């Protein structure tokens, strides 16, 4: 049987969603991927739900015009604020970041979950709702960690500045619930800071803390969604589009773990 060779589409507010592409390429190496980074309008994390929804719908339309057979909303902020609108507008399945992230958290946790993300993700209450639907007795504490996105983009993912910022945020999070046993990295950029966040969380809590990220959870969700219908082609193509010329040459390899190649500039 011929497998469906239409690509998988992934969009994000910027380059951070390449962490999802990285996990996706590892899980489904034969799949062609179209990536759109809305670099002209990043960040989404400081914007209102209405604006995030409007921008996200434009990104989805771009991917649908390129005939994708599955759309991944890599951006946690877009997933948290726009998923119902995206699902309604899409003829193909849409996978957001929040539900897979919540599923991973519930699987890892004994009932006390901490979630960190952008301001717009935290304000949406989406993680609380997704976790409550899966494990109604779980206690969920959330915190907006606005400095972590620029820190990851600057490449300051280790060292004294990263340690100090992580210490400050995680101290506040664990004050809200000292019994947190699982930390969700609810933002595209945070997998780059997983080392420091894992270490500092353990130090603040005085015990090991399970750390889960939505990027690898989304790759698992995409694999499940495709089922047997995934390509085993020996070579797969990644095409990157951006809405503004960026430092993709510097940031791309950092987030993707390989050279994403020259992006194509588009206007949505
Ligand atoms: N991609 C965003 C997220 O995962 C982070 C960057 C932004 O604020 O746009 O929430």
Given a cut of 70, the residues of the chain with pLDDT beneath it are 1-3
* Cα–Cα distance for residue pair 89/255, rounded to 1 Å: 29
* Cα–Cα distance for residue pair 188/14, rounded to 1 Å: 9
Q: From ligand 1's centre to the CA of 234, what distance in Å?
A: 32
pLDDT value at residue 171? 98
Strand partners, 143: 116
Contacts of residue 22, Cβ cutoff 8 Å, sequence gap at least 6:
215, 255, 256, 257, 258
Probe target for ligand 1 pocket from 17, 39, 73, 76, with the most ligand atoms within 8 Å of CB: 76
Tokens standing for residue 71? 């759309």
Rounded to two decimals, the pTM is 0.95
Report the nearest atom of ligand 1 relative to the CA of 42: 9
- Three-point CA angle 15, 65, 61, nearest 5°: 60
Catalytic residues: 75, 187
Report the nearest atom of ligand 1 relative to the CA of 13: 9
- Could you read off the pLDDT of 99-128 as tens digits, one per residue? 999 999 999 999 999 999 999 999 999 999
Q: From ligand 1's centre to the CA of 106, what distance in Å?
A: 23
Nearest alpha carbon, ligand 1 atom 2: 75
pLDDT value at residue 53? 98
Report the nearest atom of ligand 1 relative to the CA of 45: 8
Cα distances (Å, whole numbers) of residue 132 to 80, 103, 210: 15, 11, 19
Probe target for ligand 1 pocket from 44, 121, 127, with the most ligand atoms within 8 Å of CB: 44
- Write out residues with Cβ below 6 Å of ligand 1: 12-14, 16, 42-45, 75-77, 117-118, 121, 149, 187-189
* Cα–Cα distance for residue pair 88/167, rounded to 1 Å: 40
Nearest alpha carbon, ligand 1 atom 7: 43
Q: From ligand 1's centre to the CA of 16, what distance in Å?
A: 7
pLDDT value at residue 164? 98
pLDDT value at residue 3? 67
- Could you read off the pLDDT of 221-254 as tens digits, one per residue? 999 999 887 777 777 899 999 999 877 778 889 8
pLDDT value at residue 233? 77
């Amino acid at each position: 049987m011929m497998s469906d060779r239409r690509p998988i589409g992934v969009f994000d507010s910027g380059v951070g969603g390449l962490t999802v592409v990285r996990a996706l390429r590892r899980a489904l190496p034969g799949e062609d991927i179209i990536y759109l980074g809305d670099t002209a309008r990043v960040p989404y994390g400081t914007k209102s739900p209405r604006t995030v929804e409007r921008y996200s719908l434009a990104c989805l339309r771009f991917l649908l015009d390129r005939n994708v057979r599955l759309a991944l909303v890599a951006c946690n902020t877009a997933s948290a604020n726009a998923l119902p609108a995206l699902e309604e507008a899409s003829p193909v399945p849409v996978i957001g970041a929040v539900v897979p992230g919540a599923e991973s958290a519930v699987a890892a946790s004994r009932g006390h979950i901490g979630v960190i993300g952008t301001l717009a993700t935290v304000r949406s209450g989406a993680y609380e709702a997704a976790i409550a639907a899966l494990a109604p007795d779980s206690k969920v504490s959330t915190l907006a960690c606005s400095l972590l996105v620029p820190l990851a983009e600057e490449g300051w993912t280790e060292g004294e500045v990263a340690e100090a910022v992580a210490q400050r945020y995680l101290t506040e999070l664990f004050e809200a619930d000292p019994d947190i046993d699982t930390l969700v990295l609810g933002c595209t950029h945070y997998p780059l800071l997983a080392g420091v966040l894992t270490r500092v969380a353990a130090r603040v809590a005085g015990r090991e803390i399970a750390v889960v990220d939505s990027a690898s959870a989304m790759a698992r969700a995409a694999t499940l969604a495709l089922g047997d219908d995934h390509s085993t082609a020996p070579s797969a193509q990644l095409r990157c589009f951006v809405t503004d010329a960026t430092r993709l040459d510097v940031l791309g390899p950092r987030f993707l773990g390989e050279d994403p190649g020259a992006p194509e500039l588009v206007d949505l």
